[in-house]
């Protein structure tokens, strides 16, 4: 299985970038991982949030390969336990899913139409996190899911 997490711009916070790099390095032992960095949309004035979300949605759509299962990360999504997330990934693999793309919005979140088009909508939590923090949390949970599946001691 291949996991793709397109990133809207680079991760600016050094401590988050270090954590993302750490979990990305751990994940490649379990799964093919691609973290393409997409061109970040410059923030406009207060009147432009919808436009920014539309432009980010377009960039995210263009980064997807045909046939990928699309998972949108959004507060409206389903919350899973770490074990439940591992079971979901296992089920997708058993169904023959070869690629899963996890979409994280920019500072304003994902466009509603992109969330509606997704094959699955996942909430990391009901709490709000920065989009850069969501990257780290997703990669840690992906690593945890693969650790659960392989029976390593990471998940206690």
Give the CATH number, domain containing residue 115. Answer: 3.40.1280.10
Q: pLDDT for 55-91, tens place per residue?
A: 999 999 999 988 999 999 999 999 999 999 999 999 9
Q: pLDDT for 109-151, tens place per residue?
A: 999 999 999 999 999 999 999 999 999 999 999 999 999 999 8
What whole-number distance in Å separates Cα of residue 112 and Cα of residue 50?
Answer: 10
The reply to whether 30 falls in a domain is: yes
The reply to whether 109 falls in a domain is: yes
The structure tokens 């979300």 sit at: 53
The residues with which 72 forms a beta bridge, in sequence order, are: 103, 121
**Which two three-digit tokens encode residue 35?**
């973290």
Reported pTM: 0.94
Closest alpha carbon to 156 in 2, 79, 74, 147? 147
What whole-number distance in Å separates Cα of residue 27 and Cα of residue 30?
Answer: 5
Q: Give me the domain span that covers residue 146.
A: 2-150
**Cβ atoms 137, 41 nearer than 8 A:** no
Provide the domain count of the chain.
1
Query: Is 89 strand, coil or helix?
Result: helix
The reply to whether 100 falls in a domain is: yes
The reply to whether 117 falls in a domain is: yes
What whole-number distance in Å separates Cα of residue 143 and Cα of residue 123?
Answer: 17
The reply to whether 87 falls in a domain is: yes
What whole-number distance in Å separates Cα of residue 143 and Cα of residue 25?
Answer: 10
The reply to whether 156 falls in a domain is: no
The reply to whether 118 falls in a domain is: yes
The reply to whether 155 falls in a domain is: no
């Amino acid at each position: 299985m291949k996991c793709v997490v397109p990133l809207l711009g680079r991760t600016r916070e050094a401590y988050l970038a270090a954590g993302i790099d750490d979990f990305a390095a751990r994940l490649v032992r379990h799964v093919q991982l691609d973290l393409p960095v997409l061109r970040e949309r410059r923030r406009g004035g207060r009147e432009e949030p919808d436009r920014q979300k539309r432009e980010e949605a377009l960039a995210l759509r263009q980064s997807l390969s045909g046939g990928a299962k699309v998972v949108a990360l959004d507060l409206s999504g389903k919350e899973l336990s770490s074990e439940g997330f591992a079971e979901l990934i296992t089920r997708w693999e058993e169904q023959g899913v070869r690629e899963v793309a996890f979409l994280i919005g920019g500072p304003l979140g994902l466009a509603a139409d992109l969330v509606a088009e997704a094959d699955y909508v996942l909430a990391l939590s009901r709490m709000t996190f920065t989009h850069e923090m969501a990257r780290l949390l997703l990669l840690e949970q992906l690593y945890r899911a693969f650790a659960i599946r392989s029976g390593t001691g990471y998940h206690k």
